[in-house]
Structure 1
Amino acid sequence: MPFVPALVIVDVQEDFCPPNGSLAVTDGRSIVPLLNTLLSYPFPLKIATKDFHPRNHISFASNHPPPNNKAFESVITITNPLNPGESQETRLWPVHCVKDTPGSELVPELHVDKVHEIVEKGMDQRVEMYSAFADPFKQPCVSRSGLAKMLHDKGVTDVFVAGLAADYCVRYTALDAAKEGFKTRVVEEATKAVDPASMDEVLREYAEAGVEVIGKDDASIERVRHYAYPGQV
């Protein structure tokens, strides 16, 4: 069977990491050494993603009137701007990862020099976009990042997902990778959740979608470690 693996590191940015991130995930910074280990392996394609929001993004609680504008608590309904008949509910968040601000930067200890491509997402202020592939609307989709084309153009068969946060952007990126036809694995120790109690639901969704949760010493990781590019001796 062909095996062309890609690594997708999701949103390991200052605003998602302690000590100063506006939406810091508990222990978020602690996964960086393992991410750097993964980046040292010979994946033919290594991608890092970034939330890269405008200041008027719809997910920011401060962009909504009271009383339904409490970060982490309030839930709003977003209507597809291209189809009023399609809508979704989403949680509101503190202002985070505003484009071209320090909070949007990948953390400096991440070995970004080993990354082949950086994919920015969440740039359309009208829609939420947890997945690094696209927003969740289907009829039609409003915003695509180009990640799917990047992976398909490289002939990728297997996608390994890590980063932040396990219950949001990692979750939806992995689910969309599976929908795109890639054999998808989430490296468990290389991600942290906003709400660890929600992970049972996430794991159920993974099981239904065929997404595999693996450990850092899984046989598939060992296969990557010994990966040889076509024609490589």
Structure 2
Amino acid sequence: MNIALWLARSAERYPQQSAIAHGTEVWCDYAEFARRAARTAHWLRAQGVQAGDRVVLFMHNAPEYLPLMWGIWWCGAVAVPVNAKLHEREAAWIAGHSEARLALVDDERASGLQQALRELNAATQVQADHSFMQQADGPQLALQPREDDAPAWLFYTSGTTGRPKGVVLCARQLRGCALAYLASVQSVQRGDTMLHPAPLSHGGGMYHLPYVLNAGLNVVPRSDGFD
């Protein structure tokens, strides 16, 4: 099962339900969330990304983060989220180690990561322009089939005891995480809200899964910190 089926199903059942907010402003509903993921998937396929290929996400939390991640899954590729607090050289090492074809980044990290990748002779291409997913008439890729045990998320440890280590998570494991959250942490109903001050590259990304599964609202704060 492609994990992106959850987004497709929520978009079909609750198209006008608010899906992502930036601060107090709704950024998109579920219908648009799915369309942006499908446009991202089409763009990735046009860049040569095939099922099973790795795609790095090296960005601060932003509304764009979630459609990009779900677009990676939508086309059958493997998301490699990297904590935005890491140095560009550390992110470049992860990109090279994971053999990522592409790195989707924000403007703040684009030049530094490109330089670090050149120093490592890594083949990963860097893309900071994400306008392809917001084009209203942009082409969309059909949801690609994936097996339950196919890799979906390559989760890198912090590297406190040496180099970071990549842990492969498949759709079955991500589904288990989401169902365990619903069973042991809290129930999630349509329209319930999750605030994401923590990095979406790590725990925040895991915790948002049941909210997409049950058509909740994921809120990315505008602030960079707490007062």
Higher-helix-fraction structure: 2
- Larger-Rg structure: 1
Fold-level similarity (TM above 0.5) = no
When the two structures are superposed, what TM-score results if normalisation uses the length of structure 1? Answer: 0.30
TM-score (norm: length of structure 2):
0.30
